[in-house]
Amino acid sequence: MKNWTVELLPGVVVHAYLHQHQQHTCWSYLTEGLRALDQSELAFCWPFEDGDVPVPPRPLEFFDTVCRAVAQGRRVGPGDVTGFAKGSEVFGRKDVTGVLYVPCPGLEEIAVPPETLSVIPLLGKELERVRDEGGARFMARQALRTQTYPYPNWFDRQRKSERLKKGESVLGGGVPVIHSWLTHAWSQEGRLTLRIPYYERDLIARALENIPVDRPFALLTGIAPEAEGILVWRPGQRQAAVLAAPGAPAAERLSGNFFLFATNPEVEVSLGEGLEDGFRLILSLADHRALRRTLCRGEAFELDHFTLESSNHQVMLLHDEAYLEQAGFQIEKSTELLQQILGLMQATLQRDELRGLAVRVQLDAHGQVAVMFPEALEFASKNQLGLAVMALPAPPLRLPVQLELHCQL
């Protein structure tokens, strides 16, 4: 593997690698330094072509523009899109109308920081479709086309814009949509599940304020990382195809790309079903009102064949599976410790009348806990939360492991 480093801004560089990735010889570009600007690092990958010079400049031109926008206060997250002015020549092509940002599933041979986003170019009318129907539907089709699970994070330099058959999707016709890549939906053994992380509830609540109570609406979700397969649909298909995860003995938990909610005054018992590459829940008036309330409050909700999962806390592992295995970390052995930390955070929120709190901790080989607050150090001193967390015993590890815990009232 060969690599180069190019400085774009003071403290911000792009590392370029020539390596093997997903059965291709690829150029991969990975930023370093954006995290200090409160922006996830970005990655872009495309296959090597004869005649390429080290390092092909087109992706560097794109990253230079993006990094300068970040320095001016603009941010992008999972599922966001950036559109380009007509006539722009991005990545050397005039038909690139925008890019989609999705969680990076990894780059072979390269250590990728947690929360890194892959940059996915959109051609022709694909940008418009992603805005109308969500990024997961587009990425699922790319996954099936390339037979890459959960989706390819490299850009085929010869790829043409999608040519879809004429046909109407249930997401057309003016149905209000709410983009939330970090929300996930899946079906398993006849049961539909929707999981909404607590930090998305404000976004969903604000969107619902502008949607009349009697109107249907759809949550455009991301691809569930714990799924065993993804649903893929194109206009004209009667039934969605399934792309199974490698090594999955049976694709029982299938990730959908949206969840549509509708109400019907004639329905007494709410009913869920699969629809295209997503799911639909037809609700009675009482259940519909109750569901909207729970969505706005970030609470759980359950019907006979449907579960809405919501939590006021989240634990994020900041290492890949290979490192965690090497470190000897097992989430089951740390459950009690994590619950204790979250309990201390919850008590701090209530005592100091705070809305939310994030804490990063490190577990080391000696069974000790260190605390790294995203907030100013004065916060840790004032609230004594850091001292309380560091006093907790942790299971000893072979290598230090970092976790980030989020808690919200």
Distances (CA, A) of 77 to 152, 205, 221, 315: 18, 19, 14, 19
Share of the chain above pLDDT 90, in %: 57
| Sign of torsion over alpha carbons 391, 393, 396, 397 | negative
Residue 29 and residue 119: Cα distance in Å, rounded?
10
pLDDT at 373: 63
- Residue 189: in which H helix or E strand, if any? none
Superfamily for domain range 177-245+252-311: Domain of unknown function (DUF3480), N-terminal subdomain (3.30.1360.220)
Write out the E strands in 48-176: 81-83, 96-103, 117-123
Gyration radius from the chain CA atoms = 22
Q: Where are the domains of the chain?
A: 2-123, 177-245+252-311, 315-408
Q: What is the C-alpha separation between 333 and 44, in angstroms, rounded?
A: 36
Residue 346: which pLDDT band, with cuts at 50, 70 and 90?
A: confident
**CA pair distance 66, 90, nearest whole angstrom:** 12
Per-residue pLDDT tens digits for 109-146: 898 987 899 999 999 999 999 999 999 999 999 999 99
pLDDT grade, residue 372 (50/70/90)?
confident
In angstroms, the CA 223 to CA 342 distance is 27
User: What integer is the mean pLDDT of 81-104?
Assistant: 93
Cα separation of 325 and 372, whole Å? 23
Q: How far is CA 100 from the centre of its chain?
A: 12
pLDDT (tens digit, 9 = 90+) per residue, 154-183?
A: 999 999 998 877 678 999 778 999 999 999
What amino acid is encoded at 105 in this protein?
P
Beta-sheet strands, E only, within 147-265: 177-188, 191-196, 217-222, 229-232, 241-244, 254-256, 258-263
Would the pLDDT of 207 be above 70?
yes
pLDDT of residue 365: 86
Mean pLDDT of 398-409: 83
Q: Which region among 141-145, 208-212, 228-232, 342-346 has the lowest average model confidence (pLDDT)?
A: 342-346
Kindly report which listed range (56-60, 205-209, 212-216, 316-320) carries the lowest average pLDDT score. Answer: 316-320
Q: Is the pLDDT of residue 377 over 70?
A: no
Residue 90, SS3 per DSSP: strand
Backbone angles phi, psi at 264, to 5 degrees: -140, 120
Q: Where are the beta strands (DSSP E) in 114-249?
A: 117-123, 177-188, 191-196, 217-222, 229-232, 241-244
Question: Which strands make up the sheet holding 356-363, listed edge to edge?
Answer: 313-317, 401-408, 356-363, 369-372
pLDDT digits (tens, 9 = 90+) for 48-89: 999 999 999 999 999 999 999 999 999 999 999 999 998 889
**What is the secondary structure of 26-75 as a DSSP string?**
EEEEEEESSGGGT---EEEEEE--TTPPSS-HHHHHHHHHHHHHHHTT--
Structure confidence at residue 375 (pLDDT):
46
